[in-house]
Amino acid sequence: MAVKSSFSNMILALGCICLVCSALLGLVNHVTAEPIAAANLAKTNSAIKAVTPEFDNVPSEEVMTVEVDGKEYKVYPAKYQDKIIGYAVEVMPTGFGGVIDMLVGFDAETGIIYNTSVISHSETPGLGAKISDTGAGSFRAQFDGMNPAATKFMVKKDGGDIDAITASTITSRAFTSGVAQAYKVYLTIKGEDAADVVTGASNQNWEE
């Protein structure tokens, strides 16, 4: 039978449980902090690998910060034999369910998009989450090998060149504006004028 519900008993029981639980959580957090950081770093590195040509440096250790329109972006340079061959630009547009953390890789010479990669997102499973899909016919495949200078970065519904994911226009818009932002960052690195990149504004409140 349970102990009596006297005032001191209740405080004692709840207090002990909270103490033990928080001690346990602190311990687990301490133990897992390092592996979690390592796992995240590995994830970033493998994402960089996916969006740039083959490199022999460690891009996450040579990260540079570039400021465009008052916002700071992380750029990971991919080098092969000390020559920069590609840039992976990290952008975080806001999608339907929150921030989409994504990488866009550019060829260092031509500015052509090498590939894109989604590091993390919280879009609707089965709908917006399709931005993580890869392979032929996926939403992201249309960006591979695209020449951003000749592209209007808006979904077709808004008069642009990008095929949106069915029933996920907001997510598609966010991803598209992310790619456009990344291109602006690339142009800034190259010292070119980024003002005439055609894009839908990323912070506008869209209505369906």
Partner 1 sequence: MAGRWKLITKGFVKDNPTFALVLGMCPTLGTTTSAINGMGMGVATMCVLVLSNMVISAVARFIPDKVRIPSYIVIISAFVTIVQLLMQAYLPSLYETLGLFIPLIVVNCIVLGRAEAFANKNGVLDSACDGLGIGLGFTLSLTVVGLVREILGSGSAFGWKFMAPDGMLLFVLAPGAFIVLGYLMVLFRKLTTK
Does residue 201 interact with partner 1 by CB under 8 A?
no
Query: Are 70 and 56 within 8 A, CB to CB?
Result: no
Q: Segment contacting partner 1 (CB under 8 A): 38-46, 51-59, 63-71, 191-199? A: 38-46
Does residue 110 interact with partner 1 by CB under 8 A?
no
Query: Are 93 and 81 within 8 A, CB to CB?
Result: no
Using CB under 8 A, pick the residue from 69, 110, 163, 167 that binds partner 1.
167
Distance CA(117)–CA(106), nearest Å, equals 12
Using CB under 8 A, pick the residue from 66, 127, 149, 194 that binds partner 1.
127
Does residue 136 interact with partner 1 by CB under 8 A?
no
Find residue 129's DSSP bridge partners. Answer: none
Q: Segment contacting partner 1 (CB under 8 A): 18-26, 103-111, 151-159, 180-188? A: 18-26
Q: Decide whether 30 or 83 has the Cβ nearer to partner 1.
A: 30
Using CB under 8 A, pick the residue from 125, 193, 195, 207 that binds partner 1.
125
39: CB partners within 8 A, 6+ apart: none
Does residue 6 interact with partner 1 by CB under 8 A?
yes
Residues in the chain: 208
CA triple 166-167-169, angle to 5 deg: 90
Does residue 42 interact with partner 1 by CB under 8 A?
yes
Does residue 24 interact with partner 1 by CB under 8 A?
yes
Query: Are 63 and 87 within 8 A, CB to CB?
Result: no
DSSP string covering 110-159: T--EEEEEEEE--PPTTTGGGGG--STTSTGGGGTT--GGG--BSBGGGT
Using CB under 8 A, pick the residue from 14, 58, 64, 201 that binds partner 1.
14
Sites of contact with partner 1 (CB under 8 A): 1-6, 9-10, 13-14, 17-18, 21-22, 24-25, 28-29, 31-32, 35-36, 39-40, 42-43, 122, 124-127, 166-167
